[in-house]
Amino acid sequence: MALRTLGRQTWLWKLLSFALFFGAWEIAGRIPISLSFPPFWDTFVAFVTMTFNGDFAGAYAQTVQPLIIGIVISAVVGIGSGVVMGLWRTMEWLLVVVFIILYAAPVAAIIPLVTYIYGIGLTSKVIAVVIMALPLIVLNCYKGVRHTHPSLIEMVRSFQGTRWQEIRMIILPNASSLVFAGLRLGVGAGFIGVVLAELLITPTGIGDLITYHRAVADYAEMFADITSIIALSAVTLAALLKMESLVRPETRKR
Amino acid sequence: MPQAVLKMIQTPAEMIVEVDGIAMRYEGGVQALKGVDLKIPAGRLTSFLGPSGCGKTTLLKIIAGLLVPTEGEVRIRGARVAGPGPDRAFVFQDFALMPWATVIRNVAFGLELRGVAKDARHEIARKYIAEVGLAGFEESYPHELSGGMRQRVGLARALAVDADILMMDEPFASVDEQTRRKFQEDLLELLAKERKTVIFVTHSIEEAVYVSDQVVLLSPRPGRVQQIIDTEVDRSKTPDEIRRDKNYLDRVDEIWAILKTYLR
């Protein structure tokens, strides 16, 4: 009976999941699978060391600049364009092709072109983030706005709502779930963009740390760097989910 | 213990809705309706009944002003219908509730669109939420309610705007049989109190005869008025008695005989 109550504690299962993963990692590292694959414990020690000796702080101070600028631009332009495209057919025909191509294009191949035009500074890195994040945000937002359930539109018309009321009170709130989904995907893609930029353009921030530690064969440190960016990305997405539940109270579990 | 349904006062009724030569041809060539002429009495419950695809929902939406007919016109108290109006309210088959809004906000929505102040419209909403039997659920979200409860929210919303004509598009199609019967009984009680004109689309013969004063039978596509049948059911009896009443059973058989011919 007590076992069943214990079984229902979700945090316990999540902890177990982490424990199993880290355990497998530790074993794989000790075999070893490869000389450049460190066991979990070494990576963990490196992670803690770099957190407290300022390496991570210094690196992220540089990485977050293009990341935040890029994501803010992508969110504002993305949601704006998505809404406009969803509401006006002409805009849709004009813009949707651009964003689909951008979405489908392999960014790593475009970055050298960006570097050629914009140089190797902050601008190029911001552009890399925007190229990754913007199409996802636009396309999801546009889909959310355009595919409003027709019976909701009919309902607001049956109560003599104006077009503006239709947009403000039905179309936009209805699109909010896809807008947030787009933001989550966009932020995740933005992280990929900034790391790619830091690896391919010039090394700064966390990209620099990864490149450096790889070059000097400090594999535990390199894995710790990679883990740190994954962790940051996960925490950011969790924060986005929390923000969504504040803006959309109907998603809260009761 | 079943409540006895209030007796409908039989007085000669004003014809509040006139349907005049309505035809509807959709883009793509489907002729949904052709040459429909009809008069609907005020204060009574009229149902549209017919086989699938006969255009009953199309006709309902034309009267509601949600669809523009290709020919003909609909007049309400002599005035031509050019779109939705405050004299008509619609109850949707798939409920059409806003999932991001609470029950009370959904019910008050029609009033919110008109610019009624929040306290005033919430007070009105509360009254109708109680009338449909959902008191206590004002702060719930639609996803927390059963199908039957959601339909009642849709009904409360339509009642809250105090329109003269209530149009219901197969309102009980999405609920189970027991709930459906209970709804039919509750609806009659409610309407006897509210004194509205109701137009009801259904594909159930029993439901049409049980609930309405007159049944408009539509022919298969392109739909036209096949026949209008007065149900003449004595509503002073209890619901169970009505369902065994000879008049009721005769009407059901009569209508079934007509509809059967369409199956051949």
For chain B, the domains span 13-82+199-264
pLDDT at B30 over 90: no
Give the pLDDT confidence of A144-180 residue by residue, as tens digits. Answer: 999 999 999 999 999 999 999 999 999 999 999 999 9
User: Which has more confidence, B172 or A183?
Assistant: A183
Size of interface A-B (CB pairs under 8 A): 53
Query: Which of chain B's residues have a Cβ under 8 Å away from the Cβ of A158?
Result: 64-66, 84, 88-90
Directed axis angle between helix A55-87 and helix A40-52, to 10°? 90
Q: Are A135 and A75 in contact (CB under 8 A)?
A: no
Cβ pair A136, A182 in contact under 8 A? yes
Mean pLDDT for A67-95 is 93
For the stretch B154-192, pLDDT in tens is 999 999 999 999 999 998 887 788 888 888 888 888 877
User: pLDDT tens digits, residue range A188-204?
Assistant: 999 999 998 998 888 88
Q: Which of A151, A165, A173 sits opposite B113 (nearest CB)?
A: A165
Topology of the domain comprising A68-248 = MetI-like fold (1.10.3720)
Taking a C-beta distance cutoff of 8 angstroms, is the pair B141, B179 a contact?
Answer: no
- The pLDDT of B120-124, averaged and rounded, is 95
Q: What mean pLDDT value characterizes chain A?
A: 91
pLDDT digits (tens, 9 = 90+) for B49-103: 988 778 899 999 999 999 999 999 999 998 999 899 999 999 999 999 999 999 9
Amino acid at A251: T
Domain ranges of chain A: 68-248
- 8 A C-beta contact, residue A228 and residue A235: no
Q: Which of B83, B94, B143 sits opposite A151 (nearest CB)?
A: B94
Q: Which two tokens stand for residue A130?
A: 């925007």
Domain B13-82+199-264 has CATH 3.40.50.300: yes
CA quadruple B236, B237, B239, B244: dihedral positive or negative? negative
Average of per-residue pLDDT values in chain B: 87
Question: Distances from the Cα of B101 to the Cαs of A83, B89, B106, in angstroms?
Answer: 21, 20, 6
Residue A74: pLDDT over 90: yes
Nearest to B86 among A160, A174, A254 (CB): A160
CA nearest B153: which of B186, B128, B174, B177?
Answer: B128
Query: Nearest-CA residue of chain A relative to B113?
Result: A161
